[in-house]
Structure 1
């Protein structure tokens, strides 16, 4: 059943709906760029690992009486930092994420069992609750919307080299270990910050899918990041309005909208230049002149 235009207008006057819309717009600025990092570092398992770590944080919050979402955020940030020393190679990072995922879910189930907390309620938080977005959530997403693009602009040469080839980055003087640590913490915090919007199970709609589509359209790290943000804004705005119009859960609608865009972009011929090759190669060449 669809809603009339007047009904949608009335919904948009509600504070929870306005907060949800603002959260999606802020998320569209920072999270798709985080997706570029996930794709560039080839760390697809990070989403699943952080989902389990977030569940552990939620379980600890339920046990201690603290804010479950704050605990999930802190747990993801610490987890992202802890696996950075293992990220010497893409294979090593993927293995670390697999280990982290197994340990986190086991610990989460143990904490839930010991505390006697309602496991169904804990798992429900992973499916998202976009209308429960708070002012604190908006501050977090706003901080990511500022920090992530700023970091990419400030360290664009180093990030381009790292995402293109870690060994080349090391040879070029990039402090790869520290930069990887910062990027992994950003990825972890971004995944945790998106839990209320789509749920950890559907976080790809805000991070990975816009980045995958942007890779087909951009030829450098700068252009890929710009395309990712543009696609994120379009997808989040369209998906949210469609969800309101059709009276459907926003999370699945956002995923389907982003997926449709990603599939549509694949009809565009892929550029022969490997993403961020031009930026990385130019930066490397400049070191020898």
Structure 2
């Protein structure tokens, strides 16, 4: 049987269909989260949330609740809780580093003292794409709507915040509140991708499409659309390749997304103003939002 014939047979299986749907849903939300991560310069956030997710998974296994749901809740609370410490981009990175250290220490201590099998917790960090459940698809579906929805709803404020935090503050943007929303979305998105690629390879779905999109787009809207488009192509192509040649999907997705990002950076940079310039120079800077 040819490799492509094998793909057709595998696509008849329900777990494979769920995995494919999950990757498609992820492509509409997670690359947009990558735009936030790159724009706010908070690369450590994905590592911090990976460790927080492990802590939530350990708690779930200890008390007998769904580990992934516990990981999602833990990441959401951590994202909201760390925001007040993030007065600057450097402060945010520092807070994430502290959170990462405390979370992994607490998770390892809990696993050691409780006698819970650590293999199940750590397995989720590596991902198990064929173990995607309907509940995971619901989470990814919500993210696929919520994340782009926030960008559409607060596009101008986001453009200012991702360009310059102080400028956004002076322009009347509710910086602290918007930062909390973004951090919660980032945290939940990282946790939501656990079963697809594992937290260790979540960059394939978030950061790498965003890096390529920032090179190709000239406005926040175009960057966001590029990120989603690249995410869809990478996820579909990477998944099909992994099925055709019986390869682990996570590494294939990373390599495919990395190849696109590298190719995008080999394209000569356009001599045009970027969205960062237009965000600061645009005459349509948003008026201060009402506090009532």
TM over 0.5: yes
1:98 is matched with 97
Tell me the SS of whatever aligns to 1:17.
helix
Q: 1:3 to 1:244 in 2, by over 3 A?
A: farther
The CA distance in 1 between the partners of 2:286 and 2:117, in whole Å, is 58
Task: Please report the RMSD computed on the Cα atoms of aligned residues, expressed in angstroms.
Answer: 1.5
Tell me the SS of whatever aligns to 2:254.
helix
2:274 is matched with 274
Q: 1:60 to 1:285 in 2, by over 3 A?
A: closer
Shift of 1:285: 5.1
1:4 is matched with 3
The yes-or-no answer on 1:251 pairing with 2:250 is: yes
Contact in 1 for aligned 2:171/2:285 (Cα 8 Å): no
Q: 1:279 to 1:8 in 2, by over 3 A?
A: same
Q: 1:285 to 1:188 in 2, by over 3 A?
A: closer
The yes-or-no answer on 1:127 pairing with 2:117 is: no
Deviations 1:251-289 (A, max 9, x none): 00000000000001111122353344314431565769x
2:53 is matched with 54
Deviations 1:90-144 (A, max 9, x none): 0000000000000000100111011101122211110000001111111111111
1:115 is matched with 114
Tell me the SS of whatever aligns to 2:126.
coil
Q: 1:68 to 1:286 in 2, by over 3 A?
A: closer
The CA distance in 2 between the partners of 1:205 and 1:280, in whole Å, is 31
Q: Mean alpha-carbon deviation: is it higher for 113-122 or for 140-149?
A: 113-122
The CA distance in 1 between the partners of 2:194 and 2:71, in whole Å, is 9
The CA distance in 1 between the partners of 2:283 and 2:16, in whole Å, is 45
Gaps of 5+ in 1: none
Contact in 1 for aligned 2:171/2:286 (Cα 8 Å): no
2:261 is matched with 262
Q: 1:129 to 1:182 in 2, by over 3 A?
A: same
Paired residues, what number?
287
The CA distance in 2 between the partners of 1:181 and 1:123, in whole Å, is 28
Q: How does 1:1-289 map to 2 (within 5 A)?
A: 3-272=2-271, 273-282=273-282
Contact in 1 for aligned 2:3/2:245 (Cα 8 Å): no
The CA distance in 2 between the partners of 1:38 and 1:7, in whole Å, is 37
The CA distance in 1 between the partners of 2:277 and 2:228, in whole Å, is 20
The CA distance in 2 between the partners of 1:286 and 1:143, in whole Å, is 28
Normalising by structure 2, what TM-score? 0.95
Normalising by structure 1, what TM-score? 0.96
Q: 1:156 to 1:280 in 2, by over 3 A?
A: farther
Deviations 1:8-46 (A, max 9, x none): 111001110000000000000000000000000000000
Contact in 2 for aligned 1:76/1:189 (Cα 8 Å): yes
